[in-house]
Structure formats: C-alpha cells, structure tokens
Structure 1
Amino acid sequence: MNGISRIDFNSIAGILLALAAIVGGQILEGGYIGSLLQLAAFIIVVGGTAGAVLLQSPIKVFINGIKMSVWVFFPPLRSPQTLIMQVIGWAHISRKEGLLALESHVQTVSDPLTKKGLQLLADGSKPEKLREALEIESFALESLQRQSAKIWEAAGGYSPTIGILGAVLGLIHVMENLSDPDRLGSGIAVAFVATVYGVGLANLVFLPVANKLKSIITDHMIMREMLMDGLVAIANGENPRLIESRLRGYFI
C-alpha cells in the first residue's frame, strides 16, 4: 500500500523555523548562542527523559517508536489511486478467470496485509472470514503503532519536569560555590539551561513528533480499511465499477 518514502519538507521547515526563532531571539536579546549549549544539561534532560519513557514502555514498543520517528521527515508514501487501480485490476481478473487466478499475483505485492488478503481471496475464503482475518491483523498493527507513537507523547510530558530537576541540581552546585562570586553568574545560567532544554524539547520536538506520527497512522488505517473493503467486495463478486466508486469515497 505504501511506496518509497519522500522527504516531508513541512517538517524540516517547521523545525528550522522553531530553532531560528529561539536562536534569533537569544541574539536580539544580546545573549550568546554558546550559552545555550550545555552538554551536562542536555545529558540530564535527554537521558532522564529516555529512562522514564523506557521504564513505562515495553522494549519492543520503545524501539519501534524510535524507528517510527523517521516518518516525521520521510513518511511512507501512500497512494490511494494506485491501490484503487490494483483492487479494480484484481476484480476484473476474478470475474474473468476466477478467484484462483489471483494466486499468481500474491508475490507481486510487498505489503504483508495485502499479500495475506490476496492469498485468502485466492483460497476461496468466505467474505466474512476474509474480513475477520484481515481486521485482526490490522488491529494488531495499528495498536503497536499507536503505542509506539505514545512514547513521544510521554517524553513530552516528562522532559519539562526533568529539566526543572536539572536546574535544581545546577543550583545545588552553585550553592556549593558561594565562596567564589565570579562563578555564580555563569553557574546559575548553566542551571537554567536545563529548564530551557526540557520545555523546548517537549514543545518543539517530542509532542509535535507524537502528533505527526498519529496523523500518519490514521492515514495508514484508512488505507487498510480501503484495502479490506475492496477485497471483501471482490469476494462477494461485486461489479468492478461499483467497487471503484466505493473506494474513491474514502478520499474525497
């Protein structure tokens, strides 16, 4: 159902605009970019957030969520028109040569759900059994994807608090050096950078990534529904033109 990924320039433009606004504002205020670059604060926020998310998530979900983050910039290319043409082609073949003729087309598709549906169709599965089998697999896949996307939403909830924790740790270090006034100003600045990282990552990275992934998952779900509807219609022996009209209704 999905083709080769292509770059999502909206995502790239969004992150660049956000970074430009923050860095530009810092410069306009007379600050230095270097003051925002603090490795210790970054490690506290990112490491602490990752640990908290890993604690609440099964390792399979956590790893899958990390892999899915690539979709933000390289989303799987969906092509409803291509899917409709495929389904209509299969419908014509089944009407002319019978459902068994579809077995030779099973290996021509790469999507696991499509391949399974075609095989069940060629095996002569009843329409209700065909839909049931595909719905179970589709539900399991959607459930995994949504759980995986939620790790980014969870990160968006944890990172501001971890940032505050980093700031407090930094202030503790400052308090330990009260006898050296020359180090107080820079020490306090470093402490509060952790808060900037926590809030910034939550609202500029983690939460937007979660919402973008949810949108992509919803699109995938609609494509799978369209596929199942088309295959069940073929199993019922419906007219290809009627099938095409129904499937086009998914994307108005």
Structure 2
Amino acid sequence: MAPEQTTTAAARRPTERAASRPRKTASGGVNVTTVVGLLGALLLLGFVAIHEGDIFNYLNLVGFIIVFGGVCVGALIAFQGREIMAALRAFGAIFSRDAGIRTEIAELVEVARQLSGRNIHQAEERIARITSPFLKLGLQLVIDGTPVDDLMHIMNWRIRKMAEIESAQARFFRTLATLAPGFGLLGTLAGMVAMLRELGNGDIERVGSGMAVAMLATLYGVVLSNLIFKPIAIKIEQRTQRRVAMLNILLEGILLVSLGRSAGVVSDAMEAFLNETRDEISDV
C-alpha cells in the first residue's frame, strides 16, 4: 500500500469510530440571536393574531395535522433515520455559541514550543491530552514525520468531510421548508372540497369549518417554511462556514509546526488569523 493511502486510511478510521458514538459539541454559551429570533417570531405571530381578532381563530387542529404531519411523513420518506437524528442534533446546536479555538491554539503553541526544544516525548504526551480530534490527528502526523503534501491531503479531506455532513443537515431543513407550503396547499384543497360539498346542503357552520381548514393550512405552511425551517437551515450553514474557517486556521498552525517554525512565530500567526477581517482594498 502506498504511503498516502496508508495515512489516509489511518485518518479515516478515527473518523468512522467518532461517527459511531454521540458527538459532543463545544459550547461557548447560549446563542442569543437564535433565542431572540424565535421569541420575536412568536411575538410577531401573537401580535398578528391579537390585532386581527381572537387568537383562537388562528388555531385549527385539522389544518395543523395536515401540514405538520405531511412534513414529518415527507421527511421520513426522503431521509434515513440517522440523517434525521443528525439534523435534530444540529438543530439543538444552533442554540449554543461556538466556543472558538483559543484553547486549541494554546495547545498548538505549546506543542510547537516542545518540538522546538526537541522534547519529543513531552510533545507526544501533550498531544495525547488534546480534545480536538482534528488538531490531535494533525499534530500526530507531524510527530510521525508525514510529508507536508500528505498532511495537507489528509487534513483537507477531514475538513471536506465535516462540511459535507453539516451541509446535509442544512439540506434536511431546506427540504422541510420546501415541503411545508406544498402540504399547506394540500390542506387548502382539502378544506375547499369540504366547503364546496356543504354549499349545496346550506350548512353554514360546516362551510365555515372547511374554509378555516383551507385558509389556515396555507398559513401554517408559510409560517413553518419561512419562520422555522429556512432560518434553521441558514443558521446551520453559517455555523458550518465558521467551523470550516476555524479548522483552516488550525491547519495553517499545524503546517507551521510541521515546517519547524518556533512557538513565537506560530502564536503570532494564529493571532493574526483570529483578528477580525479588514477591507484589503481601502482603509475607508
């Protein structure tokens, strides 16, 4: 087996083992924007309902079952169970802020310091205590003397794999956002059929009930799509972009360590990467 194939296979095995156990997401506290956004959505809906009349006029069990039940059934048909569970875990993660990578950078700089002092054994012990699987693998490859090209190939594969997994989670909610208005339309058609059937009988109460299902089903579909599912998908996509950016910063640090740069150089480079981006065209 070629050296690149061997190292790639070694990189994949930890990934497969990690996928078989629950993943723990580092949290930097509650994501305030998510909580405020959801509360704002509830207040907006409550304001509309109260302003236009009795809030109970906007509650219809049949319409809600048609829309929400249809979305759930569509998700079960379209996705596998593990994909649904992964998407639900991602939904829980949007309520937490990413902890950042300050801790990982400190560990990276410490390993660079030990390697600069030729303390290989201490560096290996430090690497063994690192909690970030990405950073641990990268530094272990450095200790093993992996060529830079092979190291880049393996670590970029890990980044792409994470991005693909999290993109699938966002795609789950975008699919639900597409399904919800369709089932709202289904509820509308079902309500209109019931309404038209009762027109000949002259039963105004049943006609009104059918009209309520028709109108509220559409409302539920639009609300679920635009206030729930689409914002969740966007939030997950933004979270993935931040995580990919942080992994790329760590990868740059790993490459600096592999090239034998000192701890001071690694620390300064990491601090520069962490600084907020600025306009590279003008100072205005």
Q: TM-score, normalised by structure 2?
A: 0.81
Give RMSD over aligned pairs.
2.1
- From 56, 62, 65, the equivalent of 1:34 is 56
Once the two structures are TM-superposed, the CA of residue 196 in structure 1 deviates from its matched residue by 0.7
Match of 2:30, SS?
A: coil
Could you tell me which residue of structure 2 aligns to residue 122 of structure 1?
A: 143
Q: Which moved more, 1:35-44 or 1:193-202?
A: 35-44
Structure 2 letter corresponding to 1:145:
E
Could you tell me which residue of structure 2 aligns to residue 9 of structure 1?
A: 32
Once the two structures are TM-superposed, the CA of residue 70 in structure 1 deviates from its matched residue by 0.7
- From 233, 236, 252, the equivalent of 2:259 is 236
Once the two structures are TM-superposed, the CA of residue 4 in structure 1 deviates from its matched residue by 3.2
Q: Which has the higher contact order (CA 8 A, sep 6+)?
A: 1
Structure 1 letter corresponding to 2:227:
L
Once the two structures are TM-superposed, the CA of residue 99 in structure 1 deviates from its matched residue by 4.3
Could you tell me which residue of structure 2 aligns to residue 72 of structure 1?
A: 94
Once the two structures are TM-superposed, the CA of residue 72 in structure 1 deviates from its matched residue by 1.9
1:52 is the counterpart of 2:74: yes
Match of 2:261, SS?
A: coil
CA contact (8 A) 2:104 2:135 kept: no
Once the two structures are TM-superposed, the CA of residue 2 in structure 1 deviates from its matched residue by 6.3
- From 181, 190, 195, the equivalent of 2:204 is 181
Distance in 1 (CA, whole Å) between partners of 2:46 and 2:213 is 16
CA contact (8 A) 1:35 1:190 kept: no
Match of 1:238, SS?
A: coil
Distance in 1 (CA, whole Å) between partners of 2:137 and 2:72 is 36
Could you tell me which residue of structure 1 aligns to residue 215 of structure 2?
A: 192
- From 160, 170, 173, the equivalent of 1:149 is 170
Could you tell me which residue of structure 2 aligns to residue 140 of structure 1?
A: 161
Deviations 1:62-121 (A, max 9, x none): 33112101122124x332332322211111011113445322123312222222223222
Distance in 2 (CA, whole Å) between partners of 1:91 and 1:124 is 14
Aligned residue runs from structure 1 range 76-87, under 5 A: 77-87=98-108
Once the two structures are TM-superposed, the CA of residue 215 in structure 1 deviates from its matched residue by 0.7
Distance in 2 (CA, whole Å) between partners of 1:21 and 1:10 is 16
Distance in 2 (CA, whole Å) between partners of 1:2 and 1:201 is 27
1:167 is the counterpart of 2:188: yes
CA contact (8 A) 2:184 2:218 kept: yes
CA contact (8 A) 2:30 2:96 kept: yes
1:104 is the counterpart of 2:136: no
Kindly tell me the number of residue pairs found equivalent between the two proteins: 250
Structure 1 letter corresponding to 2:218:
T
Q: TM-score, normalised by structure 1?
A: 0.90
Structure 2 letter corresponding to 1:34:
F
Structure 1: unaligned runs, 5 residues or longer: none
